[in-house]
Every structure is written in C-alpha cells, then in structure tokens.
Structure 1
Amino acid sequence: MGVPAFYRWLADRYPLSISDVVEEEPPVDPSGHNPNGIEFDNLYLDMNGIIHPCFHPDGKEAEEERLRKEFEGEGILLSKDKRETSDSNVITPGTQFMALLSVVLQYFIQTRLNHNPGWQNMKVILSYSNAPGEGEHKIMEYIRLQRNLPGFNPNTRHCLYGLDADLIMVALATHEITSQY
C-alpha cells in the first residue's frame, strides 16, 4: 500500500533532498565513475518499479526497441514476436510469468558477471517473488543485517531505486547513508 503524494510532499518541504541526475547514453561503462559525482557502495532495485511500467507503457515500447538493440549488440537474440501482455495479474508471485522472469533475471545477471568487465567484482543478490515479503522490506532487512557483520563500515553508501513511497519511508527509518531515485 503506497503513500499518495508522499514524494511531492517531501520535495516541496525539503527541496535540497531532491537532485537532478545525469544519465549516460548507452552503452554505459559500469566500471567508470558516476557522472553525478557521488559514488555508492550498494545499489538496490525494487523491481516493481521496473516491471509494472512494462505493462502500462507510454509511447508504445520505445524502450523495448532500445533494449532489443542493446541485447543484440551483446549477441543475445530476442524473439521477434510482438506479444502484447496486458493482464498485469501475471506479475503476481506464483504465476508462470514470475517463474520465467526469475530464470531470465538469473541468466541476465550471470551473463553480465561472466562477460562484462564492469561487473567482474560485483556481488549480485536476487530475491525472487516467491521469497516472502515486499521488495522494500527485503532490501531494508539486508541493509540492517550488514550492521552485524564483522568489519561493517558505518560509512557504507546505499542507493535505492524504486517507485514506491514506502521505499522512501523505510530507507529514512534505517538512518543509513542512502539516496533514493
């Protein structure tokens, strides 16, 4: 359950908490420095904010074509079938779509780790939809557990990406050094 207009409230009352982001044009070199001048130790993605817009596209799939070209440039050929999936109920834990998405994400991550020099020293953790809990709570649990590990650095910088206002709320509650996009 979201918090309606929370982002707007936060931006209006705390304008310095919001900053513009410089985006690099593809292909992006992940081993390079952040063009925004801020380096992070950890990136967390709440996939709901990535998957849900795919079922409600604006501008009829321009991003799909860009991604198709990017994958083809890496030697990954995608099906040319244009299947319109308009039933957003398939993005529910336990569905065949979510099981397939888990396999595809595993493949994507493993391919990047094995073949992309910018990913060589990364640790990637993928939490599937069949693992109990919402994405933002799984992320926060992971961040909190890091505090108990030997050698924990209290200055570890976290970057969280998601479209859910709940993510902002739980990130603020951790009192960790975070940025929200």
Structure 2
Amino acid sequence: MSIYSLKTKLSNGEELQLETLKGEVVLIVNTASQCGLTPQYEELETLYKAYTEKGFEIIGFPCDQFGGQEPGTDEEIMEFCTMNFDVSFPIAQKTEVNGEAAHPLYQYLRSQAPADEKFDEAGVLQREDRDMVESSDIQWNFTKFLIDRKGNVVHRFAPTVKPAQIETTIEQLVTDDK
C-alpha cells in the first residue's frame, strides 16, 4: 500500500485519486473551524500560494473528533474557509482520523509516522523516543503530515507547529526532490 493507492472525496463531492499527486510534495492536515489553532489556515494558504507552482499541494481534512470543533456541513466548512481565510487549496469532506471509522488515508499516515514517538522542540516527530503516547492516534486538530515527491511520509508535525515553521522543510523538498 502507498498513499497513491488511496482516494478521498472533496467538499464539493468530487473524488480525488491521490495517485494524481505523484511527483508532488503534499501536506495533509486535519482541520477544524472552531479550534484555537484555526488561524493556521492563513499560514497554510500562504504556503500553498508560495509553493503550489513548484509542485506543492495541501489537502485539509476537516474533523469533528476533537471537542466537537468542526460541527458544520461540508458546504458550511468550505464557506468558512473561503470567507475567513481565502483558502484555495483542496478541502476534503468531513473525515474521521481516529478509531474504527478512520479514513484509510489517516490509517496509512498514522502507520507511517506513529505518535508513539516524541516531538522535538521544533515540533518534528522524533522516531527514537517512544514514551510520549501509546498509540498512533492523532492527538488534536492541525496535526500535519508532510509527504515527499515519492509518496514517503517524511515528517509528522505536532498541532502547535505553525505552518510558517515548516516552510524551510517544504522549500527543501520542493527544490531537492525534482
């Protein structure tokens, strides 16, 4: 299995075959409209606009599993993102990221970068430390997975890591992996 064997539905009902992202650097983020971290949409959009022409894609996955902070319909979520943050990157339909009903993409991402590893001071998951939590579950909204051009999950970033903090890593991947 790879990320490219999976698909998802976008908020507008279109199906996105992740295979179409081969050769792109991809950031996958579980999002919420009523979270203290919601302003990260602004920095995500800034990154998207800066790097999309260099082969960078972002997909937001609204999720209501953390404190009920994404209660809206797919249409309401997209309207919120557009009106408040001018989001132009794809937003998926509301998605579960943990539990038995977790989207297959999130099952895959969690298996590739489990949370039983510690985040360093920069918010990057460190594979050497395995005493933080006992499962690969997503811990909160705005957990970020960065995927290289070959489909490898290369980083899992903590929710509190702001998108601007990972810009250097994204820039390196879009430059080095061509």
- Under a length normalisation based on structure 1, what TM-score does the superposition of the two structures give? 0.29
**Which structure has more helix as a fraction of its residues?**
1
Question: Which of structures 1 and 2 has the bigger CA Rg?
Answer: 1
* Higher RCO structure, 1 or 2 (CA under 8 Å, sep 6+): 1
Structure with greater strand share of residues:
2
Task: State the TM-score, normalizing by the size of structure 2.
Answer: 0.29
